[in-house]
Amino acid sequence: MTLNKQLLCVSIILLCLPWAGCQYIREVDNIFRTSQEQTLMASTKAVASVLSQQAALLQTYNSDEHFTPLYFHPLASSLWIDGYSEGWESIPAIPYQAAHNPQQSVTVRSAIHNKKLFLYFQVIDNNVIYNNPAQSLIDDGDGIAVIAASGRQYIFTTSAPGNVIARYRNETNRIYRESKINAYWQDTEAGYDLEVSLPTELAAGRLSFYIIDQNADNIRSNNSEHKETSNNHTTDYYGPMANAPHSRPPYYIYQSAALQQQLDIFEQPGQRINVVEPHYWLLAKTGTIELPKAIEQRDTTENSHWLIKKLYRFLLNSNIHLKTQYSESTNFSERLEVIRGFDGHSNSRWYKDPEHSSQNILAVAVPVFHNKAEATEANKQNIIGVVVAEQSSEQLAALSDNAFNKLLALSLGAIILVAIALLGYTSWLSWRIKRLSRAATEVLSDDGKLLDNFPTSRAADEIGDLTRNYAQLLQRIGDYTEYLQTLSRKLSHELRTPLAIIHSSLDNLNNQPLDPHSETYQQRAKQGAIRLGNILTAMSEASRVEASIENAELETIDLFTLLSGVSAAYQDIYPQHRINFSSSNGFNYTIQAVPDLLVQMLDKLIDNAASFCPENGLIGFTLSHHNKYIEITVSNDGPLLPEKMRSQLFNNMVSLREQNKNSSHLGLGLYIVSLIVQFHHGSISAANRDDASGVFFTIHLPT
């Protein structure tokens, strides 16, 4: 693993910075949430306390416990009374089951618009019996009775589908028709539908109904709630007022304009305030959860890029997991916070926003107590309503977007800065180390010599120290190598004087009368001294070649002439080997060279070859011309070169010879060859023959 890769790995740690940032943002978001809850709670409590001072707007709805009140949904426009269900689709139906007959039931929808109450009954009756006016205008046939605050029961029966006249009995039991009421009867497959509209002043705040179901046959159902028998008919009654048709109907519930006005004071953008009565019906609401487009637009464009916004929402969304989805309704019976509110607890709850998957909705519910009641939990029968304030988390998110933006920008900037600084710094360090490593590699030339090109460093740090130590080390090694290289020359020089003493002494001894034994010893001593002299000569040969190279002058010579002459001469000198010279004809082999040095080089090579080549073995010279150089090879049938020593072969003092040979070899021969080749800007290499029959040296001399 290179330093750079390691660095990359380490810099991954930097990624924990954005992670920490996200954690921080979540923490901040939690705090924001809590504070949003508290703020909304406070403002909702303010609304609740104001409403409790004006309990009159609310308290009426709490008075009846016996009957389920009807809730009149607000309508955007008036309805055409035609018995059809157009215009009622958005209004929830409330079903009533007939107790005496499971097949009998009614669903009722109720709405209010412009001081007119609308009712839409859908009665399921497998046997619709029409009114027989001959029997009675009221008491005959199926129908519906609607009871107003005055106690009047408006009865709708008809002898045929179409417009129905509402009739009632006055105190004197006479039947009257009420012309302010419009109604229309429509037969359906399952039974009949009845659509009714009546002015609010007729209802006078209270309204309820029951269904009159006359049975055609004589079979009496035993469990009918309320029966009347006339002729051969039985009549069943069901619906909210079926059991007590003469008691006061409950207040009906509708969204009151007075309360609405009161609430409008508290309206704030992005916040919806609902007032819910104890039956969980909505009494009034003001404001919308959606932020005004203008504000949202401004936030979006000014503060945050959509991507950042999205990222932010994503981060926060994973913070909380909400199961409940917000749904808007005029009935709050499903809403836990409202239920708890009616238990006397102020509480809050988060919902998923169904329209914006990344947003949440906060709902706060605060109970409204009757103005004289104490606002305690134990006092919950005095709760006349619950104020529910709803707000989108977007409001808060839009606010904290800015903070997130800044945090993101700052931490991103910091990360980039730190990363660049770290990367730069470490790249610089690794560049220095690389440079040092390269310098350490380059300081050793191809032929194993130490070059004087190691850079000096003035840096005061550890790498600088390393460089200097390295330089010092190389200096020492260089000195030592130089000492070793000059050692042979110095040694041969120093040994020459004592050798001269031995020589001259032996020569003197030669002139003395000696007995035969002494003469033998004298001769042996002489031989030893001569050999010692040869060794010394060989030792200083390399330095003499170096000296003669310094003084050498290039001449134009023909290599073919030189080689053919030399190889012929070598055959005389080495009669025990076959010496062969071949060359590719037709080329010009003249080059600029120093012939004496070349001959000396060839001498060394043939001397080397002959010493390895077995008797009667072949020593071959070849000369060939290549594009930019002339190639000379010298091959012999000797033993193969060991692989490991191949590159050191031409170094000073390296010898591959076995040590038991009698002749003195100091490993200088091939070194001298390489000196001469280098002087001619050529190259030399040694290799084994492909068929492993011997060794060949290849010399390239540039033309």
Partner 1 sequence: MARHIAIVEDEPTIAANYRDALSRQGYLVSVYSDRPSALRGFQQQLPDLAIIDVGLGDEIEGGFDLCRELRSRSPELPIVFLTARESEFDVISGLRLGADDYLTKDISQAQMMVRIVALFRRVDALKAPSLKEDIISHGKLMINKERMNTRWNNLNIDLTVTEFWIIYALARHPGHVKNRQQLMDAANVVLDDNTITSHVKRIRKKFLAVDADFDAIETAYGMGYRWKAV
Interface residues toward partner 1, by CB under 8 A: 493, 496-497, 499-501, 503-505, 507-508, 510-511, 533, 536-537, 540-541, 544-545, 547-548, 551, 561-563, 565-570, 572, 595-596, 599-600, 602-603
Give me the least distance between CB of 605 and partner 1, in Å please.
12
Q: How far is the CB of 453 from partner 1 (least distance, A)?
A: 29
**Beta strands 360-369 and 383-392: pairing type?**
antiparallel
Query: How many C-alpha atoms does 642 have within 13 Å on its Cβ side?
Result: 9
Query: Of the two residues 320 and 509, which places its CB atom closer to partner 1 in the complex?
Result: 509
**Which CB sits closer to partner 1, 222 or 556?**
556
- In the complex with partner 1, the residue whose CB is nearer, 432 or 496, is 496
Helix (H, G, I), strand (E, B) or coil at 590: strand
CB of 483 to partner 1, least distance (A): 19
Provide, rounded to whole angstroms, the least separation between the CB of residue 643 and partner 1: 33
**Closer CB to partner 1, residue 466 or residue 549?**
549
The Cα–Cα gap between 401 and 394 comes to: 10
Cβ at position 434, least distance to partner 1 in Å: 44
If the CB atoms of residues 334 and 507 are measured against partner 1, the closer one turns out to be: 507
Q: Distance from first CA to last CA of the chain, Å, rounded?
A: 46
DSSP state of 680: T
CB of 614 to partner 1, least distance (A): 23
Q: What is the dihedral of CA 613, 615, 616, 618, to 10 degrees?
A: 0
Least separation in angstroms between CB 671 and partner 1: 15
Query: What is the smallest separation between the CB atom of 559 and partner 1, expressed in angstroms?
Result: 10
Q: Which is nearer to partner 1, 499 or 656 (CB)?
A: 499
Of 581, 487, 414, nearest in space to 14 by CA:
414
| 634, 623 Cβ separation under 8 angstroms | no
- Residue pair 123/238 in contact (Cβ under 8 Å)? The answer is no
Beta bridge partners of 192: 123, 187
* Min dist. Cβ of residue 452 to partner 1 (A): 24
Contact indicator for 608, 694 with CB cutoff of 8 Å = no
Q: Which of residues 377 and 507 has its CB atom nearest to partner 1 in the complex?
A: 507
C-alpha 319/C-alpha 643 separation (Å) is: 69
Collapsing DSSP to helix, strand or coil, 624 comes out as: strand
- Closest to partner 1 by CB, 273 vs 609, is 609
| Least distance from partner 1 to the Cβ atom of residue 533, Å | 5
- Comparison of 81 and 545: residue with beta carbon closer to partner 1: 545
In the complex, what is the shortest distance from the CB of residue 570 to partner 1, in angstroms, rounded to a whole number?
6
Specify the amino acid at residue 51: L
Q: How far is the CB of 530 from partner 1 (least distance, A)?
A: 8
How many CB atoms sit inside 10 A of residue 65's CB? 7
**How many residues in total does the chain contain?**
703
- The nearer residue to partner 1, 190 or 491, going by C-beta atoms, is 491
77 CB neighbour count, 10 Å cutoff: 8
Taking the least distance from each CB to partner 1, the nearer of 439 and 499 is: 499
Count how many Cα atoms sit within 13 Å of the Cα of residue 113 in the half-sphere of its side chain: 15
| Residue 544 in tokens | 């003499």
What is the sign of the dihedral through the CA atoms of 131, 136, 138 and 139? negative
Please, is 585 exposed, middle or buried when counting C-beta atoms within 10 Å of its C-beta (0-12, 13-18, 19+)? exposed
Exposed, middle or buried: residue 358 (CB in 10 Å: 0-12, 13-18, 19+)?
middle
**Nearer CB in complex with partner 1: 119/566:** 566
Taking the CA atoms of 644, 647, 651 and 657 in sequence, report the sign of the dihedral they define: positive
Q: Which helix (H) or strand (E) holds 215?
A: strand 207-215
Q: State whether residue 513 is helix, strand or coil.
A: coil
- Give whichever of 112 and 579 is closer to partner 1, judged by the CB atom: 579
Amino acid, single-letter form, for residue 50:
V
The span from the CA of 208 to the CA of 242, in Å, is 10
- Least spacing, CB of residue 601 vs partner 1, in Å: 12
- In whole angstroms, the minimum distance from the beta carbon of 642 to partner 1 comes to 30
Residue number with CB closer to partner 1 (528 or 642)? 528
Query: Is-contact 142 125, C-beta < 8 A?
Result: yes
3-state secondary structure 285-300: EECCCCCCHHHHHHHH
Label the pairing between strands 71-74 and 105-113.
parallel
